[in-house]
Amino acid sequence: MIYPKEVQEELKILDDYKYSDKLSKFNIFHLYPKELAYPNGYYDSRFFELIGFNTNTMEKCNLGRHDSIEFCNNSPIAFARVFADGSFLIRMRSFVENIANTQAIYMQPIDKAIIKKEVKLCQKQLLN
């Protein structure tokens, strides 16, 4: 499909993120639909490729092929939408981390004490 120029520019923003296999904290997810999960997954689902993004570090990580993403322990989802390219975006209110990676993938909020420590470290680095 050919998209209008304005749409193409918005979709290219995702290309600004660099791949990192070591990325462990995410605040945006893109789900790219793949084949039907039947008979090897949830019968009513499709598999999807999951890409996790960190907007602070401008990094992304391919989290693999799954048929479910579970947000545990009151994970703070801000919104979800369907992008023009057919991928699904899930935006978190704060960072989450992967706690289990099976056919389904599980995310939970990162401890707020860890976040505060990282913010202080970043502030210290900016002052030096």
pLDDT tens column, 79-95: 999 988 889 999 999 99
d(CA 64, CA 5): 30
- Per-residue pLDDT band for 96 (boundaries 50, 70, 90) equals very high
CB 77 within 8 A of CB 92: yes
More confident residue, 73 or 115: 73
Q: For the whole model, what pTM was predicted?
A: 0.80
Mean pLDDT of the 100-105 span: 87
- Per-residue pLDDT band for 71 (boundaries 50, 70, 90) equals very high
Check residue 6 and give its pLDDT. Answer: 87
Total domains in the fold of the chain: 1
d(CA 17, CA 117): 24
Residue 115 has pLDDT above 80, yes or no: no
* Structural domain harbouring 48: 5-127
